[in-house]
Structure 1
Amino acid sequence: MVENLKKELLSLKEKVNIRYKTLEESDFEKFLKEISQENRFITLQKDDSLDEEPIFYIEKDNISIKFLGRISGGEVKSFLDSLKIVANNEHNISDRVIEFAEEIDKPVDIKLFTTNSCGWCHPAILKAVSFSVVNPNIKVSIIDCYSFPDLAMKYNVSTVPKTVINDRVEFVGVKDDSEFFGYIVKALGEV
């Protein structure tokens, strides 16, 4: 399986930085060290100055995707697919919605609550990450409920995936492009 994951990352087109902090070295961290040595497009940077842990950032230019929590189970694929989306400037959003999303000139904070066994979390993560690639004003944090139960409780998470935008608007489940963008606009107070 590790070799298949490495092959998937051969399609990266631009450099990305993975910045992280963990208490103890996990299998996922070992995997990241291995692929960063083999793939010239991936830079790995341990950053003990970060507040939370475990935490992983995928960064390129002004794009910054934050994963709060252990990366295991279904989250591994979500993390690697997010890495590919950022490195390849890809998105899973229709051209019509992109036109409007590119116009956002205010900060948007998307918190997406997940678990590593959730089947619906993967497409929700890819949708949120895609919006961040389209417009860097849109920041995304993927939060593992088991690693950060206090945050899950603060935001009343009882079902995942749960998305909270600018601490004003929230929804549960996977939404299509237009519906997701509608929630972003509502959170900005423009509706």
Structure 2
Amino acid sequence: MRLSIFPLTGAILFPGLQLPLHLFEPRYRALVSDALARDRRIAMIQPQARQEGAPLYSVGCVGRIGEFEAMDDGRYNIVLQGESRFRINRELDVTTPFRQVDADLLEDDHDEALSSVERAGLESEARLFAEAQGYRVDWDSVTRLDDMTMVNGIAQIAPFDAASKQALLEAPDLAARCELLVQLMQFFGLHDGDDEGRVTLQ
């Protein structure tokens, strides 16, 4: 399918989760206007570098615009609801100010669940990670989340570097994403605070 993309380093969206965005550049204001006039879908994906026109990673996530605010100066505040991961086949030559790709949607098993051991290990590591980072967490609410929402939610908001977040998004299934997430939280916990506090597996 043809997708209009918003390439943004460090911004990861997972199916079933929300991502608030503030769009002010003219090309991305045009992207939102176009999406609102059609199917309200925008495809989030990370570029492999920060320069203009940089190559894209191969996997992203399609989001549907839910809440939005159109400002008088043309800017938008929107909330994207994650719908489906996708894999790029090729980038298209277009006349629009925003980039477009030909892509295939990836079929995820939304009923997939962790084993009791995997779930317990994730919750334990998440508590240690949150405490080390000084986060306040409503653990009663967290423990009531289903496995998919918990894993993807942590993966989306955790302060990992772009490559690590991309690896989480590309994980083939929930168990693999959970295992990588635990490894990243453990690695981050051992990080000494150099490199501006960012963690990387590179």
Instruction: Provide the TM-score with structure 2 as the length reference.
Output: 0.31
Q: Which has the larger radius of gyration?
A: 2
Instruction: Provide the TM-score with structure 1 as the length reference.
Output: 0.32
